Chain A
Amino acid sequence: MSSIERQNAGPQPQPATRAQPMFHRVLQADSHDVRRTLTDLHSRFSSQISADAMGRLELVLAEVMNNVTEHACDAAMPGAGPGSMHLCVVMHDTGLSCAITDDGGMLPADCLKPRSLPALDPLDLPEGGFGWFLIQGLTQSLCYYREEHRNCLAFTVPYQQAEI
């Protein structure tokens, strides 16, 4: 059906084209706001997707939004308090498409390069450095671009994922 036909489709919606839930939020780059956003996201999608996909979606978005909170917004406005970010999640045929934008400093290029885990030295275990590894492992079509002063990160979290 073309977009014109769809617009003229009449007042009775067909069951097959029933709208799927989506999620859009502008939030403060602050860990408590990130938590609230993830809790709301959970109630929006949890009845629609498997618990496994929901868990992966929530983990990826937590890692991405925590990064924005920790790094991106400090660089943009030192001392000016937290900036804001936009999150948008929609359901597609094979997965959940996500986009996060923020006004912070540019993402360092090596975040997107293929990552391995930080070395697991049993005598000095790493306490961080897992975030981008998790993001890369749990997403598909991960892409980043900078548009003037804005960072845009987009990716898909598949409904089904084989064990890594």
Chain B
Amino acid sequence: MPKLIVNETEDHLVIRIEETRIDAAIATRFKDRLREIVLRGRKPVRLDMRCVDFMDSSGLGAMIAVRKALPETLPLVLEGLTPNVDRVFRLTRMDSVFDIRPATTLQE
């Protein structure tokens, strides 16, 4: 099962992905698990991606499926993208769809 550490605050769901790779080997399970967490939470989500140093297009597809599962009014913020993960969002123009922010905002 993909490792996701959930920290629920009053107004947020902070989820840390503790997987170094979101690839075809785990994409489906990752998507199902993450979708289950965000749908149960019903709160704005902050996804801490600092541990992820590789993502392929199946991983990207999983992220998009999770975004689509959330009501549009609920924010999903991606934080701390490593260069390899950032590249996939940029090349596919998905950086214009997701709310991507630097990791520093995690140290509030």
Contact = CB atoms under 8 A, between A and B. Distances in A.
Contacts of A52: 83
Interface stretch (A56-64, A73-81, A94-102, A143-151): A56-64
Interface in A123-158: 124-128, 130-131, 133-134, 137-138
Nearest to A58: B54
A117 B64 CA distance: 15
A35 B58 CA distance: 13
A69 B24 contact: yes
A117 to B, nearest CB: 6
Interface residues of A, number: 31
B68 interface: yes
B25 A59 contact: no
Interface string A1-42: 000000000000000000000000000000110110010000
B84 A55 contact: yes
- If over half of A's interface residues share one DSSP class (helix, strand or loop), that class is named, otherwise mixed; here it is helix
Contacts of A162: none
B100 to A, nearest CB: 15
B67 interface: yes
Nearest to A61: B56
Contacts of B25: 31-32, 34-35
A126 B64 contact: yes
Given A55-B87, A58-B54, A125-B97, A117 B67 contact: no
Nearest to A39: B21
B24 A31 contact: yes
A122 B97 contact: yes
Nearest to B87: A55
Given A31-B23, A31-B25, 14 more contacts: A31-B24, A32-B25, A34-B24, A34-B25, A35-B24, A38-B23, A38-B54, A59-B56, A62-B56, A63-B57, A66-B23, A69-B24, A130-B60, A134-B91
Closest 6 interchain pairs by CB? A130-B57, A31-B25, A31-B24, A62-B56, A55-B84, A127-B61
Interface of A: 31-32, 34-35, 38, 51-52, 55-56, 58-59, 62-63, 66, 69-70, 117, 120, 122, 124-128, 130-131, 133-134, 137-138, 164
Interface of B: 21, 23-25, 54, 56-58, 60-61, 64-65, 67-68, 83-84, 87-88, 91-94, 96-97
